[in-house]
Amino acid sequence: MAKVLVTGGAGYIGSHVVKFLGEKGHSVLTVDNLSSGNPEAVIYGEFLKVDLAERFTLEKILQDFKPDMVMHFAASIVVPESVREPLKYYRNNVANTLNLLEAMVKSGVGCFIFSSSAAVYGIPEKVPVSEDAPLMPINPYGETKMMVERILKDLAQAQPCFRYVSLRYFNVAGADSNSRIGQSYKEATHLITRALKTAKGELPKFYIYGTDYPTKDGTCIRDFIHVDDIAIAHLYCMDYLLDGGKSEIFNCGYGHGYSVREVVNAVKEVTGIDFPTEDAPRREGDPPQLIADSNKIKKMLGWKPKYDDLKYIIKTAWQWEKRLQKRL
C-alpha cells in the first residue's frame, strides 16, 4: 500500500481520487486551503488545512508523512476568471506549484501526478487531439497548466530521481454513484452543474454562451468524462510510477463530444424539468471544440473507462444536487 499526499483533496476531482485511494487501502493525507474545497468531502485519511504558499510548512509535512507520491489538484480552474484575474492564476497555479516541487525535492519525494488540462491545446488544429499536438493555450488558465508541464519536464531532466505523470483532463462531470461527494463550489461554473442548478430553480435561467461557433448547432462541443473514470485513471498512473515508469503525459477523455445544446436537452430529459435557457455572447477563452484522443493511456496503462454515458453522468450529478438541496 502506498502513502499519498493529495493537494486540493477537498475539492471536486481531488476528493474523488482520495475516495478511491482510501477504498483501495492506501494511506492518504489531504492538504487544502479550503478556498473552494470542503473538508467534509475528504472521506478517507487525514486532513490538514494548509496553503501551498507556506513552503516551509509543506517541507515539514513531507518530512513527517514521508509519502511515496504527491498528487496535485490545488489549482484555480475557472477560465473566464483567469482572463479577468491572470495574476491570481499565475500565483496559485505556477508559483505555489513551484513551492510544492521545491519542498518535494528537498524532502526526497520523487513521484508526482499533476492535474493538467486540455486547455493547454487552445484551439487544436486536429480533433480528436492527441498528446503530441502543439500547445497553444488561449487563456491564462491554460497558460499556467502549460507552464507547470514545462517545469516538470525540466525538473525530471535535471533530477533523475524525479518522475511525473501529467493528466490532461477534458470536461469532468458527474458525482460519486452513492452521492457521498460531488461538486459543491459556491458559484457553479461547470456546464452540467449550472444546468442542474437551473433545473432546481437556484438559477433563473441557463445561459448558452456562444451560438455561432463552427459546430453542428453553433454551440461549443466538449468531451464530458465522469469524475470516477478520471479518479480511477490517477490510480493507474500511481501504480505506473511506483513500478518505475518514466515520466509521461496522458489525455483523459472519452474520444467523442456533445454540444452545449445536446447537454441541455439531456439534462431536461434526465430531470424531467423544462427550465428556461437564453442565448448569450461567447465567453473569452472558449475554444469551439475539444475532444480527446485517449488511446495512449489505454494502451500503456490499460485504463478502461466505465461510465461513458452522458445520461449516467447527468444522473449522478442530479442525485448529488438533490442531496445538497436536502442539506439546506
Work out the pLDDT band at 327, boundaries 50, 70, 90.
low
Whole-number Å distance between alpha carbons of 307 and 225: 8
The yes-or-no verdict on residue 325 having pLDDT over 80 is no
Q: What percent of the chain has pLDDT over 90?
A: 92
The yes-or-no verdict on residue 285 having pLDDT over 70 is no
Contacts of 227 (CB under 8 A, 6+ apart): 12, 13, 16, 172, 173, 174, 175, 176, 182
Closest to 184 in 3D by CA, of 285, 18, 22, 40: 40
- Give tens-digit pLDDT for 162-204: 999 999 999 999 999 999 999 987 777 889 999 999 999 999 9
pLDDT at site 269:
98
pLDDT at site 120:
97
pLDDT at site 258:
98
Q: What percent of the chain has pLDDT over 70?
A: 99
The yes-or-no verdict on residue 265 having pLDDT over 80 is yes
The yes-or-no verdict on residue 328 having pLDDT over 60 is no
Predicted model pTM: 0.95
Work out the pLDDT band at 59, boundaries 50, 70, 90.
very high
Question: What domains sit in the chain, N to C, each tagged with a CATH number?
Answer: 3-173+224-252 (3.40.50.720), 191-222+255-327 (3.90.25.10)
Across 111-169, where does the E strand assignment appear? 111-117, 163-169
pLDDT at site 184:
85
Annotated catalytic, 141?
yes
The yes-or-no verdict on residue 273 having pLDDT over 90 is yes
User: Chain-wide mean pLDDT for the chain?
Assistant: 95
Work out the pLDDT band at 326, boundaries 50, 70, 90.
low
Cell numbers for 100: 510544492
Q: Which of 44, 141, 164, 236 is catalytic?
A: 141
Whole-number Å distance between alpha carbons of 47 and 66: 15
- Give tens-digit pLDDT for 81-90: 999 999 999 9
Torsion angle, CA of 122/123/125/128, rounded to 10 degrees? 80
The yes-or-no verdict on residue 229 having pLDDT over 90 is yes
- Give tens-digit pLDDT for 125-152: 899 999 999 999 999 999 999 999 999 9
Question: What average pLDDT does range 71-81 have in this prediction?
Answer: 93
Work out the pLDDT band at 324, boundaries 50, 70, 90.
confident
Question: What average pLDDT does range 275-282 have in this prediction?
Answer: 96
Contact in structure between 242 and 163 (CB atoms under 8 Å): no
Across 33-161, where does the E strand assignment appear? 46-49, 69-72, 111-117
